[in-house]
Amino acid sequence: MKILSAEQLNEADKITLENEHISSTRLMERAASLVFNEIHTRLEGADIKIKIFCGIGNNGGDGLVIGRLLHKYGYNVEVFIVDYSDKRSDDFLINYDRYKKESSSWPEVIEENTDFPEISPGEFVVDAIFGIGLNRPAKGWLAKLLKHINNSGAFTLAVDMPSGLFPNKAPQKDATIIKANYTLSFQNPKLTFFLPETMNFIGELQILDIGLDRDFLKEVKAVAQLIGKREARQLYRPRKRNSHKGDYGHTLVVGGSYGKIGSIVLSAKAVLRSGAGLCSVYTPKCGYQILQTALPEAMVITDKAEKELSEIKPGLEPDVVCFGMGAGKSQTTANAFKALLEETEKPMLIDADGLNMISENMDFLNALPKNSILTPHPKELERLIGSWEDDFEKMEKVKDFSKTNDLILVLKGSHSFVFSEGNMYINNSGNPGMATAGSGDVLSGIIAGLMSQKYEPLVAAILGVYMHGLAGDICAEEMGVETLISGDLCDYLGQAFLALEKE
């Protein structure tokens, strides 16, 4: 699914009105009616107080339509107009009059020096104050109103997006923002929904298709692509019945050091679980017995050194090298890594200590094969690209780094991001249970295993991140998020592939 900017969505509105020969008021009625339907379906006529806070722009117009329909169906609803400006949108004014005609009373107006309405924890609040139209932070009494709603303890539903958030830029550090329990957003998601600094304001997210112009949506260049099951299925290639292990590639996992052999056990197991035909592991001598015992399916080659990598001479030609997990970053190991980079021509996957060695020896970037994949978590990323002011600046810096160095970056997090050639892909699988030691090692193995099966590196990264999250979701459904450990992700990969294949 495409993630679009506010400007692109406004253009989609405009083109839809022209092509369908309808008014903006009718389009507003269509969109807001879908919000009403979702509320009505969930409340089922329940006797609950509903308070709707409407701004004086189009988001407020949506709120007035929702209030009118709720009133029509007998709900206990109060509508409040948040009067923060002398300007009103035309569609707001039209729906303001319609609300009065059908409810027999004007909405109550909230303005500066007005006492805020009391909100009890058991009530239902609809936030329709700003939507995507906000261009400056809420200040003064407006900020106090947003805090009043947040502090009420009431269930809060945001229409299109929580008030106080910007669709295309980061909020100020001290900004006051509605913290929604649920957000019903129109047509396409916004980037701010998925960024670490802002995603907690969204609550549960649902996208409502309001029927904007299909041709425009198909042709417009997305800010980013959201990767869900439908998108992942399009990337997946089922196996042919007549095949053998040589058809699915050979991955070499290189890493480990004394006390950190478990990381490459996890990566190598994930390589095999993701479908690679062969997996070899190159490790210090201290890892030999552990690997042979823990993973008999993998071949093990040992370094001449006992506790660290001193040279990397596996004596084979794998389809992909996956490097860095548990490797440490001693000068001896860094020298071995540099030599490996200079000898390798095919795209590699670099994780963990491999990333840390690159950040301490930036000239290593010049030796990295093009289209190699780096998989940093936020701290590893900061060591690579430097600090950033906010998540939007971070996204731009990662895009530039990826494009300048001809690399693919997988930025791990609640919504992992994949960057390539200036494009951004946002993963929509996974859960908090995956915030556990070794989860990233499993991800590296999955992606490397897909690369060895001749998936293009970008496809392997996008599909691998999704499958990693899907395995975690299936596992969490059965075990809960607290008990999930990284080894479970390998064990549930099979169920994840089965789920991907099912319609």
- Binding site, annotated residues: 58-62, 127, 131-137, 160, 163, 326, 377, 412-416, 440-441
Q: How crowded is residue 112: how many other Cβ atoms within 10 Å of its Cβ?
A: 10
CA gap 134, 91 in Å, rounded: 17
**Contact yes or no for 140/164 (Cβ under 8 A):** no
CA gap 400, 392 in Å, rounded: 13
Tokens of 492: 């549930």
- Tokens 């809960």 -> residue: 480
Binding-site residue positions for K(+): 59, 127, 163
* DSSP secondary structure code for residue 172 in this structure: P
Residue 262 CA neighbour count, 13 Å, CB half: 9
Closest by Cα among 132, 222, 265, 140 to 422: 222
Determine whether 464 is exposed, middle or buried from the number of CB atoms within 10 Å of its CB (0-12, 13-18, 19+). buried
Q: What length is written for the chain?
A: 503
H runs (alpha helix) in 180-261: 214-219, 229-235
Torsion of CA 102, 103, 108, 109, to 10 degrees: 0
**248 contacts: CB under 8 Å, gap ≥ 6:** 239, 275, 276, 277, 278, 452, 453
**388 contacts: CB under 8 Å, gap ≥ 6:** 382, 394, 397
Q: Are strands 250-254 and 278-283 parallel, antiparallel or unpaired?
A: parallel
Binding-site residue positions for (6S)-NADPHX: 58-62, 131-137, 160, 326, 377, 441
Torsion angles phi and psi, residue 465, rounded to 5: -60, -40
CA gap 430, 240 in Å, rounded: 29
* DSSP secondary structure code for residue 167 in this structure: S
Tokens of 123: 């009530």
Q: In what order do the strands lie in the sheet with 204-208?
A: 108-110, 77-82, 50-54, 124-128, 155-159, 182-186, 204-208
Binding-site residue positions for AMP: 412-416, 440
